[in-house]
Every structure is written in structure tokens, then in C-alpha cells.
Amino acid sequence: MSIIDRNCIFFEGPLTANATGNAVALTGLKIPGRMEPMPLRLSVTEAFLPAETQGLTITLEESDSADGPWAAVPGATVSVANPAEAPGLALGARPYLRFLPQGVRRSWLRLSFAVTPVAGKTVSKGRIFAALTREEDLPYEPAIMAG
């Protein structure tokens, strides 16, 4: 379990079309990407159906203000394939970076999402949660769970 400040949530909810998340302020940091590692959690909270969703591209953007202009952070774009034989967007998947990238230089951040549907299909399922957290929140491995 992780402690999450609601002001640090990039995105929470259904993602069935291209979207841009909330702007998150890191105004207390001079060069955010050069500080100690800052955990970044992005989880799939409802699976994307491989029959509908071919993939998802996630981009971290930065700006000097909440109103923009926005630019992609170098090296912070991830494309996730979602084939039926090995879905990258299954429930519980963590398809993005674990820490804020060192390339971040500006004090406002947001995530943008580009959903690629399967030809002739509409994306009807899939939810994402993304936030900066105080500590890294890795899922428990079965070997260390009690019971």
C-alpha cells in the first residue's frame, strides 16, 4: 500500500480513447528529474481487451506552468502492445516507468495516452491509475505473502 496525495494523481479512471491526464505540480523542486528517485506508479485497474485494444502509448510531458505549452520528456514515452497471447494491458499490469525520469527539467508534469484500437473495433474496457507516490509500491510476490 502506498500513501498518495490527491494532488499527485495524473490519471484515474476509464481510458477508452486518447486522453490527457491532470497537471501535477513539482514546483518545490529546482530540477525534478535530478533529485532522489521519485516513485511513479501506473497500474491497469481494469484490463483492456486484446480483441479491442491493440496497444497504448504513454507519454510524460512537462511545462513551466499548468497551462503549457507542453513538451514530451526525452526518453519518457512507452508503447505497450496488447496481443491476446501476452496482453501487456492485463489487470494489475505496470506498463510504465517505475521512477520519474532523469530528463524531467520543468516543474509541471502530465501524462498523455494514445489508445490504438484493433481495426474496426471500439475500445470499451480499460482503466488506468497513475500517480507520483512517496515510496515505491511493488506488488507482493506470492512467496512472501502470509497464509
pTM score: 0.86
Q: CB-based contacts of 120: which residues, under 8 Å, 6+ apart?
A: none
Using 50, 70 and 90 to split pLDDT, how confident is the model at 37?
A: confident
pLDDT in tens, 60-94: 999 999 999 999 999 999 999 999 999 999 999 99
Could you tell me if 135 and 3 are in contact, meaning their C-beta atoms sit under 8 angstroms apart? yes
What whole-number distance in Å separates Cα of residue 100 and Cα of residue 35?
Answer: 9
Q: Does the structure show a pLDDT above 70 at 139?
A: no
Which residue bears the cell 496488447? 82
Domain count, the chain: 1
Dihedral of the alpha carbons of 93, 95, 100, 103, in degrees to the nearest 10 = 180
Give the domain range for residue 70: 6-133
Q: Is residue 59 part of a domain?
A: yes
Percent of the chain with pLDDT over 70: 81
Q: Is residue 140 part of a domain?
A: no
Q: Is residue 147 part of a domain?
A: no
Percent of the chain with pLDDT over 90: 65
Q: Is residue 139 part of a domain?
A: no
